[in-house]
């Protein structure tokens, strides 16, 4: 595959249908408070942690940056009475999310193909900005956070959760583990994980006041075990959609990522911040 195949818009156009089988309706990790929750309950729990940090109330306008196939956005609108504009660089994601909202017969939820690092919405036009596991796909992370801060109204909040890097990875290690990194890239597309503190610094640099920065590494660890289960359950269907190599890369990635979670290299974090009322 060429470099272009790993770019998020190409990658998500390719994987969205299969991801529904492997990851579930919500295309993100799960939080497992007891460790025994099924995957859909755990992905719902991560969304619940974001909702709690977002401090939603009815009538607010929410920008969902990296909306996937729309499951979190539809939940926010149905359960909390907010208006949601979901954006993603994947047109297939926009189509899937629009169809999901129509099936749910929910109003006030729309999806558009836009880039989170240059969203072109008006300044101060949203009450909340929601970034659920999409930032690791945006190398221009400073632009993403600057855009989040720009479109927030004074008094508004941004909530973000994502994979994080928990230690330096020396170049020699990157080189010696290049096959593992290539497998991760084949399965999940081009990505860069940053420390939780870097997100805090970027938000503070954008004039936001950070009030939450939590490490969810331990609570997200069982995700890999559940993904192995969905890969086995949907083995043939995923091969039909993506091919045998892609399924093998996904399965191998579960082991590689679980190792990184256990040895303190990678993990998961959630950050929330407010924009000072002027
Ligand atoms: C792991 S999925 C998360 C989807 C969704 N937030 C959820 O939790 O179900 C990552 C999403 O980020 C989107 N994405 C990647 N790069 C993006 C960018 N530069 N701007 C907007 N969305 C982007 C992908 O297309 C995909 O929808």
Pairwise CA distance, residues 222 & 225, whole Å: 5
Ligand 1 atom at minimum distance from 117 CA? 19
Q: Which pLDDT does position 24 carry in this prediction?
A: 87
Q: How far is the CA of 211 from the centre of ligand 1 (A)?
A: 24
> Are the C-beta atoms of 260 and 266 separated by less than 8 Å?
yes
**Percent of the chain as helix, strand, coil, to the nearest 5:** 50, 20, 30
Res. 1: pLDDT tops 60: no
Reported as half-sphere exposure (CB side, CA atoms, 13 A), residue 169 has a value of 19
> Nearest C-alpha to atom 11 of ligand 1 is from which residue?
66
> Are the C-beta atoms of 49 and 133 separated by less than 8 Å?
no
**Which residues line the pocket of ligand 1, CB cutoff 6 A?**
8, 12, 26-28, 65-68, 71-72, 87-90, 93, 115-117, 132-134, 137-138
Q: How far is the CA of 160 from the centre of ligand 1 (A)?
A: 12
Q: How many helices (H) and strands (E) does the chain have?
A: 12, 7
Q: Identify any residues that bridge with 87 across adjacent strands, giving them in sequence order.
A: 65, 112
Structural domain harbouring 214: 3-274
CATH code (residue 146): 3.40.50.150
**Is the Cα torsion angle 261, 265, 49, 68 positive or negative in sign?**
negative
Between the CA atoms of 238, 184, 111 and 119, what dihedral angle is there, to the nearest 10 degrees?
-160
Number of domains the chain contains: 1
Nearby residues of 197 by Cβ (< 8 Å), 6 or more positions away? 213
Pairwise CA distance, residues 43 & 226, whole Å: 11
What pLDDT, in 10s, does the model give residues 81-117? 999 999 999 998 999 999 999 999 999 999 999 999 9
190 pLDDT tier (thresholds 50, 70, 90): confident
Pairwise CA distance, residues 237 & 247, whole Å: 10
Res. 252: pLDDT tops 60: yes
What pLDDT, in 10s, does the model give residues 64-80? 999 999 999 999 999 99
Q: How far is the CA of 112 from the centre of ligand 1 (A)?
A: 12
DSSP H or E segment with residue 181: helix 178-188
Structure tokens at 34: 């007891």
> Nearest C-alpha to atom 5 of ligand 1 is from which residue?
68
Q: How far is the CA of 172 from the centre of ligand 1 (A)?
A: 31
Phi/psi at 270 (5° precision) = -135, 135
Question: Which has the minimum average pLDDT: 13-17, 28-32, 54-58, 177-181?
Answer: 13-17
Mutate to test the pocket of ligand 1, among 68, 87, 151 (most ligand atoms within 8 A of CB): 68
How long, in residues, is the chain?
278
Q: How far is the CA of 65 from the centre of ligand 1 (A)?
A: 7
Q: Identify any residues that bridge with 243 across adjacent strands, giving them in sequence order.
A: none
Structure tokens at 31: 């939080």
Pairwise CA distance, residues 24 & 44, whole Å: 10
> Nearest C-alpha to atom 7 of ligand 1 is from which residue?
27
Ligand 1 atom at minimum distance from 88 CA? 22
What pLDDT, in 10s, does the model give residues 116-169? 999 999 999 999 999 999 999 999 999 999 999 999 999 999 999 999 999 999
Predicted TM-score of the model (pTM): 0.93
Res. 206: pLDDT tops 90: yes
- Mean pLDDT over 214-229 rounds to 97
Q: Of 99, 82, 101, 80, which Cα lies nearest the Cα of 91? A: 99
């Amino acid at each position: 595959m060429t470099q272009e195949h790993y770019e998020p818009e190409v990658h998500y156009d390719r994987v969205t249908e299969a991801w529904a089988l492997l990851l579930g309706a919500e295309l993100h990790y799960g939080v497992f408070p007891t460790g025994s929750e099924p995957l859909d309950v755990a992905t719902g729990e991560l969304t619940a942690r974001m909702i709690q940090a977002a401090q939603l109330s009815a009538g607010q306008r929410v920008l969902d940056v990296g909306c996937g196939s729309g499951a979190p956005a539809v939940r926010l609108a149905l359960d909390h009475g907010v208006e949601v504009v979901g954006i993603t660089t994947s047109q297939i994601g926009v189509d899937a999310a629009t169809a999901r909202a129509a099936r749910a017969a929910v109003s006030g939820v729309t999806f558009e193909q836009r880039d989170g690092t240059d969203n072109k919405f008006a300044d101060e036009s949203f009450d909340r900005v929601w970034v659920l596991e999409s930032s690791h796909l945006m190398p221009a992370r400073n632009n993403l956070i600057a855009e989040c801060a720009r479109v927030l109204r004074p008094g508004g909040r941004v909530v973000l959760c994502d994979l994080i890097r928990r230690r330096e990875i020396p170049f020699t290690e990157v080189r010696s583990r290049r096959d593992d990194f290539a497998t991760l890239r084949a399965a999940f597309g081009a990505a860069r994980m940053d420390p939780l503190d870097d997100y805090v610094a970027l938000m503070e640099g954008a004039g936001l006041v950070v009030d939450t920065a939590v490490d969810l590494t331990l609570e997200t660890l069982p995700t890999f075990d559940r993904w192995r289960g969905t890969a086995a359950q949907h083995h043939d269907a995923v091969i039909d959609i993506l091919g045998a190599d892609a399924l093998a890369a996904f399965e191998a990635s579960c082991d590689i990522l679980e190792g990184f979670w256990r040895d303190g290299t990678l993990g998961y974090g959630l950050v929330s911040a407010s924009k000072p009322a002027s």
